[in-house]
Structure 1
Amino acid sequence: MAAEMVTPAWMHTQISAEEYDSWSEEQCAGIEIADGLVTVSPNTSKRHNRLARILANALDSAAGPDWNADTDFDVRLQDVPLTNRRPDVIVYRADTIDLTPTRPEHVILVVEVVSPGSETTDRIATVDQYARVGIPFYWRIEQASTGVPIVHMYVLDPATRAYREGEVFTGAIKAAAPFSVTVDLGAV
């Protein structure tokens, strides 16, 4: 007899911002909320995590005292229906470090590292969501089969609330905006 897969009830019920805010940090780890529904994020590889950490460290050093760069925490895109995303790297205003939840107006750049299982979300869904809420910069890192990451940079057009394509880097990033940063991801 084949085992029957039963999904938990919470995966089929919209949750509110108040409900989510009452959950523990452990309950919120590894999930995102889209239109009030919990979505489980795929496990990430060591390479994925290393790319995110190296980039976050470089951005944090380059950003100066007004901005912080970090990994893996929620950005509250909207309250109703609740939409929380957990970008791989977030650059946010330093003076908001103790504010929870982090809001789009606190953020200047989000970065997603594409992994198996996150392709559609990182290439389509989150791009549109980040643009609609006005986050000025979006970077997407593709893990190419050659092992050398490809970084796609996008800049928000405030009039249309859509991103326009910017520079593309293979391996080493030499970005001028949102601030000057150089980092070699090709050696990861």
Structure 2
Amino acid sequence: MGAAMAAEAEYGRGERATPENWMYRPANGWTYDQVKELVLPFDWDLVDGNIVVRGMAVWWHNRVRNRLYYQLESARRRPYAVDSEQCIVIDDHNAPKPDVVVFDETGLDIRTVVQIPADKAVLAVEVVSTGSRLEDRFSKPALYAGAGIDYYWRVERDEDDLPVVHEFWLHHEAGRYVPSPEQPTHTGKMTTNVPFPVDIDLHSLIDG
């Protein structure tokens, strides 16, 4: 216990996170500058100053994520761009990686940009996994809403293994997401006009 506390104190003084010390959270939490070069043998997010391990995703999750990315990429219009697993820096202690993100690329240089500025993101998408239910249903949407990201999609797996998309819009006065007033839940097919017109056969995300 004493060694762990000493390590935490030492790494709380601006030291960078490494594979040897990342589990010793500084008193005030890790910052993005401390962790941005951290390489670990697993995926992770920075949430509230904590390095949060992302569990091993199953094939269903990855296929749905990848095909959603391609559907959005095919439908996108300027000035929007689409990316997958790209870090969004919300503040010093929060830098999550949505499964898919749509952002305004105006003024961004693909040759130099390392992460997506939160004020450029317009849609964050999370595909729920067994180990990410709490984060995808509660903590991450709270982060995205707090950052002013206009839209959030949460993709769940139903009892028939088909994807169901819950669409949320940001209530700017309340600073939180509310179900889309047009169609909050999409099954079988998803049609929406925000952030640009999208028409997706949800069965196609897992079939073939």
Instruction: Give the drift of 1:131.
Output: 0.5
- Rounded to whole Å, the distance in 1 between the matches of 2:103 and 2:196 is 13
Picking from 4, 15, 23, the partner of 1:11 is: 23
SS in 2 for 1:11: coil
Instruction: Give the drift of 1:29.
Output: 5.7
Identify which of structures 1 and 2 has the higher relative contact order when contacts are C-alpha pairs closer than 8 Å and 6+ apart.
1
The residue correspondences of 1:101-112 to structure 2 (distance < 5 A) are 101-112=115-126
- Rounded to whole Å, the distance in 1 between the matches of 2:73 and 2:115 is 20
- Are 1:34 and 2:47 counterparts? yes
Amino acid at match of 2:105: A
Which of the two has greater strand per residue? 1
Structure 1 unaligned blocks of 5 or more: 1-7
Instruction: Give the drift of 1:164.
Output: 1.0
- Rounded to whole Å, the distance in 2 between the matches of 1:20 and 1:56 is 26
Q: Structure 1 runs of 4+ off > 3 angstroms?
A: 26-29
- Are 1:22 and 2:37 counterparts? yes
Per-residue CA deviation, residues 113-153 of structure 1 (Å, 9 max, x unaligned), is 00101001100111111111100000000011211111000
- Are 1:86 and 2:101 counterparts? no
Amino acid at match of 1:53: N
CA RMSD, Structure 1 to Structure 2 (Å):
1.7
CA contact (8 A) 1:143 1:149 kept: yes
CA contact (8 A) 2:42 2:53 kept: no
Instruction: Give the drift of 1:97.
Output: 5.3
Amino acid at match of 2:140: T
Amino acid at match of 1:176: N
Amino acid at match of 1:179: F
- Rounded to whole Å, the distance in 1 between the matches of 2:119 and 2:135 is 22
Per-residue CA deviation, residues 139-187 of structure 1 (Å, 9 max, x unaligned), is 0000112111110000001111111111210132111111110111223
SS in 2 for 1:164: strand
1:9–1:19 Cα change, 3 Å = closer
Picking from 173, 182, 186, the partner of 2:190 is: 173
- Are 1:56 and 2:69 counterparts? yes
SS in 1 for 2:116: coil
CA contact (8 A) 1:60 1:67 kept: no
Structure 2 unaligned blocks of 5 or more: 1-19
Greater displacement, 93-102 / 67-76: 93-102
Instruction: Give the drift of 1:78.
Output: 0.9
- Rounded to whole Å, the distance in 1 between the matches of 2:90 and 2:170 is 16
Picking from 52, 57, 60, the partner of 1:47 is: 60
Amino acid at match of 2:190: I
The answer for the alignment partner of 2:86 in structure 1 is: 73
- Rounded to whole Å, the distance in 1 between the matches of 2:95 and 2:36 is 11
Larger Rg over CA atoms: 2
